[in-house]
Amino acid sequence: MVSTLQSQLRTLRRQIEGLPADIYCAARGPSSGSIGEHVRHVLDHVRALLDGMRKASFTYDARLRGTRVELEPQCAADEIVRICVAVEQLDDVPMDRAITLIALTDRDRWQAEVQTSIGRELTFVMQHTVHHCAMVAILLESTGRAVPPRFGYAASTPARG
């Protein structure tokens, strides 16, 4: 699972490396966000999982909006390299190791605490990354850029024939 997440992140890196900042930061609509926002969001989730590996509880709701990763494609590409190295630590963690996920469940800041496992959350982060890569693919294609086949496709998505 770790190598699958790393592979997805490396492909994402190749897509953003060298992008002009105006394309990386441009929001195409009120609900899509920019490529940079999607990349930052993905990396926030991976960092949260790494944080959960070191602690008894963690949250995906702590977001680092407006950072250089969100605004500068080369900074994001460099951060992906660092994250891919850090993710290797997960290979040494038992996938059934219990952790507590703290999640905001409504706007009034009501929190739920649920027991989960490193393996379950690694699976979630992989699927979440694929979903946001699909959004990045749409945004890149809207600028006339080509994306690799199956970039942003879930493993369960049939190949188009």
Structure confidence by residue, pLDDT tens digits, 38-71:
999 999 999 999 998 888 899 999 888 778 999 9
Q: Is residue 147 part of a domain?
A: no
Q: Is residue 15 part of a domain?
A: yes
- pLDDT under 70: residue ranges of the chain: 158-161
Q: Is residue 152 part of a domain?
A: no
Domains of the chain: total: 1
Give me the half-sphere count of Cα atoms (radius 13 Å) on the Cβ side of residue 64.
16
pLDDT of residue 153: 85
pLDDT of residue 62: 83
d(CA 43, CA 70): 10
Please report, for the domain that includes residue 69, its CATH number.
Answer: 1.20.120.450
pLDDT of residue 150: 87
% of residues, the chain, pLDDT over 70: 98
Q: Is residue 158 part of a domain?
A: no
- pTM: predicted TM-score of the whole model, two decimal places: 0.91
pLDDT of residue 159: 67
d(CA 41, CA 68): 13
Q: Is residue 75 part of a domain?
A: yes
Q: Is residue 108 part of a domain?
A: yes
Q: Which domain holds residue 57?
A: 2-141
pLDDT of residue 31: 74
Q: Is residue 101 part of a domain?
A: yes
Length of the chain (residues): 161
Cβ–Cβ contacts within 10 Å for residue 72, how many? 18
Q: Say if residues 29 and 116 touch (Cβ distance below 8 Å).
A: no
Q: Is residue 159 part of a domain?
A: no
